[in-house]
Structures are given as structure tokens and as C-alpha cells.
Amino acid sequence: MTALSVSTSSAASLRADALVVGVAKGPKGVVLAPGAEAVNEAFEGKLAEVLSTLGATGAEGEAVKVPSPAGLKAALVLAVGLGEAEEGYALEALRRAAGVAARTLAGAKKVALALPVESADEVEAVALGGLLGSYSFGTYKGNGNGKEPVGELVVLAARKGSKDAKAAVERAAAIGEEMNRARDLVNTAPNDLNPKSFAAIAQAAGKEHGLKVEVLDEKALTKGGFGGLLGVGNGSTNPPRLVKVAYTHPKAKATLAFVGKGITYDSGGISLKPAGHNETMKCDMAGAAAVFAAVVAAKRLGLAVNVTGWLALAENMPSGSATRPGDVLRMYGGKTVEVLNTDAEGRLVLADAIVRAGEENPDVIVDVATLTGAMVLALGNRTFGVMANSDELRDDLHALAGEVGEQSWPMPLPADLRKGMTESTIADLANMGERMGGGLVAGLFLKEFVAEGIDWAHLDIAGPAFHEGAPFGYTPKGGTASAVRTLVRFAERTANGKA
């Protein structure tokens, strides 16, 4: 695991395998960002000229290596692009640049980041971007995943405010390490990660961090009447679980409930997915991974808010015991649902968990799920949709996501789309409605299970939860830990009395 630290040493005097500086696109070519002054001095004021000769432009995502001259104790200088030159660089630009640097320098034991940081927020952005960019999942490869991740990332900061800088790095470590835990879960092969093993991981983390963890197995779910979880899990030899992970703070004045969809593998069930659509379906538990990571991060940060995570875990498989299209499930809480498509299973497990979460009267419920392909068609692969029964809550979460560098978009819940779900002739609801606007229909379905008087929001992370393209910024190929930062920021803001 990559270690994070902060140093007030000069960039020229710090011993490291590589020293990272920022460059940007200026009107007349590449320009050096603040933080590169000592390095430029070692190059006799010609660092920008040298980089330009090597083809550097300062564009975002760019990385150019230069051997260090005399005067620097690092063996290598890496210039990373920040995009257009500005007086102050956006936090997301700093995160991405640090991520590019950490990925480019994989194999190095120690890397110093001399990027433009003045505030604690900027220090945190660089540290978090570097930690996320260093991520590598090599569990199943004989040689790991090629080069080892950077051993240590050192963020260079000014002596003034060094105490705040240290706290910022510690905060980045708490969030980044939990995000990487979520990535590991998403990337784990489904023959290793099933509802039972996921629950065991949650129990182990509970012991490590002092969280209260309760697990309902298939017998407890049957006794409790959790028809959604049982209906989805019936076709698998790996039975479902509902896991409660609770963090409480003695000074908390509010309670949040985060609910995560945890389909550890989604074949579609009897409504089988076609070839080309099931190879990455191990990622269908990314919502539960995000919720789990967010609760642990809240505990590590000591936020003065109660946060309960509900992990709705099941494996959706076809078999002689699987739920059929046309079956009717009696959900937790008593509502009946006619299953028209067994591949619309996420909303069934979430519904049970939302009702159970509501019984504890939280101030807000936020569910997170890789719920619909329709949301990917609407918003693409990098943006998640935000729906809510409160416009204020929806807009707040959208704004908070932007603050932490996550792309989201507020989506409506049109009342006219509800009609298709309520026209079942044999049950209270159907698990499908109109085809057009399918992501909104799924949100409307979940809304039916939210207790009156509780604010609720739904994050559909189907697009950004699993990245199949080439890595960019601090985003790797595979699991991304989408929504973790948004949930943590929401919990932090609630702790500060702004819910």
C-alpha cells in the first residue's frame, strides 16, 4: 500500500527517486506552475525550454520525464500537465495531475510531489489524487500487476500551515484507502466475492474500526419476510445477506442511512443477459462497496454524525429455483411486486433494504446502485444520476459531488412514469414500467418503499462505477469507487450542522 506524508523540505534537497512538478498551457507555450521554482533554478532557469523541446505542452494528462541536473537530490524530474495556465488551479486538476504522476512512476520507492499547493484543500487534493492514481489490483496475476505501486508519496508544502497540511494528508489517506478498498471489492472475481464472503469482509472491518456489524443470513431473511432479497437470491447456491454496518458518534445530532446494491454477480437470472453484457457483471455490487467504504471513512474521520450502511447482497443466477418472470414477491414491509423481468433485480434488493433502513427513522436515506443501463445511455460512462423525493436534497448532492470532483447530474422523477408500474393486475407494483426513461422508472419504483416523512435520494452509478477504457487522471481500469467521496462529503456536511 502506498504511504502518504507531507514535508516542508525544499524540492531541491529532498531525496527521492523522482520529483514531480506541474506545467500548464500558456499563451506562448508551456509554463511552470508554482512549486517548480527550485527545480527550475537547478535547470538554470531553462526547465520550460527543456520540456518544450521534449514536446511538452502542459495539457491535462501529459507526463514528460527529464533526468535531474546537479543540484537536485532526486534522480528524475517528471512534469505533469495541469491544463490551461491559471492563477489558482482547480482541485480536480491537481487530483488528476497527481494521479497521472503516481501511475507513471509505478515502481519507484519514493516520489516527491512539488505541485502548486497553498491551502490545506490543495494539499489534500494532491495527496488523494496521488494515492488513487497509485492503485493497482494484482491479486490474480503471477507477477502482481507489473511494477509495484509507488512506495511513498511525499507532498511538499510550505512551513506556514504545516499542521493543517499534515491533517489534510491524513484525511486524504482515510478517504483514499477506503476508496481503494471499494475498488478491490469491485475488481474481485465473483467466484471469490459472494454475499457470504462480502459480509465476512464487513465483519472484519467492523472489528478493526470499532463498527457495529449485523448480518442477516438466509434463515433470518426468511423469518423476517425479506422477499426481494430472497427472490433475487433464490437461483444461486450462494444465498443472500443483508448487512448493517453502523457508526455512531456521541455528539451526533443527525443520522444518515446509506443503502447499497450488492449484486455480487448479475447474470440477469431467467431473463438472461446476452453475450457481451455479462462479462463485467461482477461490478454490480459497486453501490454496496461504496456505502461500505463511506461508513468506514466516516468512522476514520471521526465525523460527528451517525451513519448506518445497509448492504443488500445477493447473486442473481438462473436455475430451477430461480424467480421466474410472472412470479409475485412479497417484499419486506408487505408490498407485493410482480416480477416482469428478473434482470431488473437491483431495485428488488434495494427496496427491502430501504424499508428496513426507514424503520430506524434516519434523517436521510441515500441509496447507491449500478441500477440501469438507461442511465448510462442518458449520461454516459463518467456521470451518475441523482434523483430524490426532495429537490433540495437532490440539488445538494449534485453540488457536493461537484465539490469533490465527481461528475453527476440531477434527474427528475416524473409522476406520469409511475403509471406503468402500478398497472399490474395481480400485485401492488410491477418491477418494470415504461421502457423510455427506464432510469427514472427505477427511481420511482424505489420511491414507493421510502417511509413517509423521510428525505431520500437515489444515485445511479451504472456509468462511472466500472471503467473499461484506458486509465486517466487518478481513475484506473476497473472499479472506480464512484460515489464514495460524495457520500463522505454529505456526511461531513451533516456533521457540521448543514443537513
Q: Which residues of 452-485 are buried (b: 16+ CB within 10 A; e: fewer)?
A: eebbbbbbbbbbbbbbeeebbbbbbebbbbbbbb
Gap between the Cα atoms of 425 and 423, Å rounded:
6
State the cell numbers at 98: 497527481
The verdict on whether 418 is a catalytic residue reads: no
Out of 73, 147, 196, 273, which one is annotated catalytic? 273
Partners of 374 in the beta sheet? none
Gap between the Cα atoms of 168 and 118, Å rounded:
12
In this structure, are residues 112 and 76 in contact, taking their beta carbons and an 8 Å threshold? no
The verdict on whether 282 is a catalytic residue reads: no
Query: Which of the 8 DSSP states describes residue 254?
Result: -
Gap between the Cα atoms of 399 and 388, Å rounded:
14
Gap between the Cα atoms of 464 and 478, Å rounded:
10
Out of 300, 347, 394, 489, which one is annotated catalytic? 347
φ, ψ of residue 270 to 5 degrees: the values are -60, -35
Of residues 433, 306, 429, 452, the one with CA closest to residue 374: 433
In this structure, are residues 204 and 287 in contact, taking their beta carbons and an 8 Å threshold? no
Gap between the Cα atoms of 389 and 454, Å rounded:
9
φ, ψ of residue 264 to 5 degrees: the values are -70, -20
Cα–Cα distances in angstroms (integers) from residue 45 to residues 29, 32, 50, 51, 312, in the given order = 15, 11, 10, 12, 58
Q: Which residue has the cell 505501486?
A: 149
- Residues designated as active site: 273, 347
